Amino acid sequence: MSTSTTLEKPNTGTWDGGNEPLKASYGKLMMWFFLLSDAFTFGSFLIVYGLSRHKHLPYTGDAETFTFSTQWWPIPEKVYNSFPGFHGVDLPLAFVALMTMILILSSVTMVLAVEAGHRMDKNDVQKWLLWTILFGATFLGCQAWEWSHFITGTEQGMLLADGTQIFGANLTVNQYGPPLFADLFFFITGFHGTHVLSGVVLLIMIFINTVNGVYHKRGHYEMVEKVGLYWHFVDLVWVFVFTFFYLI
């Protein structure tokens, strides 16, 4: 290896690239800016949801007598009211509560991994990363179930004016309400799910690197911090999706 280009000591002057802007490393800063742009994408998605909701008729009648109709926007509690293994039982928002808990827990195990990284505790980093991967994968499984239930539909389905009955939802027909409702469900939760999937892939990569001692030799676990930032962002987006999709 040529030694002529190697510096005797690192540059420290401001104009020699010696200091970090905003006192954050390059990688972390770029992750923040990426997440900012991603927040715009998710923000736009959710705002379009708000727009289409405001331009459709809200359901004004009694919640007890609510029926699915393309005339009005559905009440979320009536759409998301099933739980695996409890067929036909009305459990409004129970499954989404479980999914929210899983994602919050995965966020906590991720912070614990980052904290262990600060202490250079390789075993703890491994342990907490593994938990995070487990919770992330569980969340993805839950979402797969939620999607397949949404697509298959309920036994009652929806009776159209011309007498035909439709079950479940796809991009053009939707038993729960206006077709746009299903489209936005697929796009927003799907885009979020894709983010979770990418997050799990990243977590598996840094887990393998941690086990191989890559970060330990490097002397810091900053990569865990950067993936952690991404993972918390995914949790943050879910907090908003949860409110605007399932509660309001």
In the list 10, 12, 15, 22, the residue contacting other proteins (rule: CB under 8 A) is 22
Look up tokens 């799907």; give the residue.
190
Question: Residues touching other proteins: how many (CB under 8 A)?
Answer: 58
State which residue, 96 or 169, has the beta carbon closest to other proteins: 96
Looking at residues 176 to 205 of the shown chain, list those that interact with other proteins (rule: CB under 8 A).
none
Residue 132 binding other proteins, by CB under 8 A: no
State which residue, 151 or 248, has the beta carbon closest to other proteins: 248
Binding mask 136-175 for other proteins (x = CB under 8 A): ----------------------------------------
Min dist CB 63 to other proteins, Å, is: 8
How many whole angstroms separate alpha carbon 2 and alpha carbon 75? 69
Looking at residues 208 to 247 of the shown chain, list those that interact with other proteins (rule: CB under 8 A).
211, 213, 216-217, 228-229, 232-233, 235-236, 239-240, 242-243, 247
Binding site for other proteins (CB under 8 A): 22-24, 29, 32, 36, 39-40, 43-44, 47-48, 50-57, 63, 75, 77, 92-93, 97, 100-101, 104-105, 107-108, 110-112, 115-116, 119-122, 124, 211, 213, 216-217, 228-229, 232-233, 235-236, 239-240, 242-243, 247-248
